[in-house]
Amino acid sequence: MQYAVIFDFGGVLMKTIDYTPRFDWDDRLGLPRGSVEKIVHNRDSWVKAQTGLISLQAYWADVARQLKLTDLGTLPHDFYSGDALDQGLIHLIHDLRRAGRAVALLSNDTLELMDKLRRLQIDDLFDPLVISAQIGVMKPHPAAYQTVLNQLQCPPQEAIFIDDRLENVQGAAALGIHAVHYTPGLDLAKILNA
């Protein structure tokens, strides 16, 4: 059976490979290593931005407030400057599409992810492309998976979902989707072509 494949973005296709820029900000602000990352990925404004309740500007203003900064300067750029697209997985997606497989993206992210995907020139690899801020709900809420399945016109048992966060994998599996917990080095090509 030709299963539809649903990818997560952050932590799967896009990975932080160099934490130095984040640690540099910790050092600059006199904070323990990892402090800036915890504030940037906080449970309040970051979730609101990912569900479309606040703008990206309002979110970064909240980060600045928490870090006691009057000006964020280059932090938004620097924070993600150690991230890199996994070219091996991008090649795999091209192969899947050439083989006639449906490939979708389901990501907990802000609306600005669309611009990022365009800049990376990979926005056309996914059909559909579902972002939590567009639909107002984040994985692992069942409605997030149901949205992408509806757009794929695919029953859960005919889809494979790949995510690096265990709770998101479990949420997909609970709906009957074949769910893969992505970890670095996992041979996805072997799993998807089995």
CATH number of the domain to which 166 belongs: 3.40.50.1000
Is the same domain home to 91 and 113? yes
Cβ atoms of 25 and 75 closer than 8 Å: yes
Backbone angles phi, psi at 16, to 5 degrees: -85, 115
Q: Domain check: are 113 and 142 in the same one?
A: yes
Mark whether 37 and 126 lie in a shared domain.
no
Residues 59, 105, single domain; the answer is no
Query: How many residues in the chain?
Result: 194
Query: In sequence order, which residues have a C-beta less than 8 Å from that of residue 12 and are 6 or more positions away?
Result: 86, 89, 162, 163, 164, 182
Provide the pLDDT confidence category of residue 194 given band limits of 50, 70 and 90.
low
- Quick one: 90 and 64 in the same domain? no
Number of domains in the chain: 2
Tokens of 15: 């990975």
Q: What mean pLDDT do residues 144-168 have?
A: 98
* pLDDT the model gives residue 157: 97
Q: What is the pLDDT of residue 72?
A: 93
Asked whether residue 124 falls in the same domain as residue 185, the answer is: yes
pTM: 0.95
Which residues form the domain of 102? 4-15+84-192
Task: Please indicate, yes or no, whether residues 10 and 23 belong to a single structural domain of this protein.
Answer: no
**Residue 88 contacts residue 147 (beta carbons within 8 Å):** no
Q: What is the pLDDT of residues 51-70, one digit of tens each?
A: 999 999 999 999 999 999 99
Tell me which residue has tokens 């569900």. 51
Q: What is the pLDDT of residues 70-122, one digit of tens each?
A: 999 999 999 999 999 999 999 999 999 999 999 999 999 999 999 999 999 99
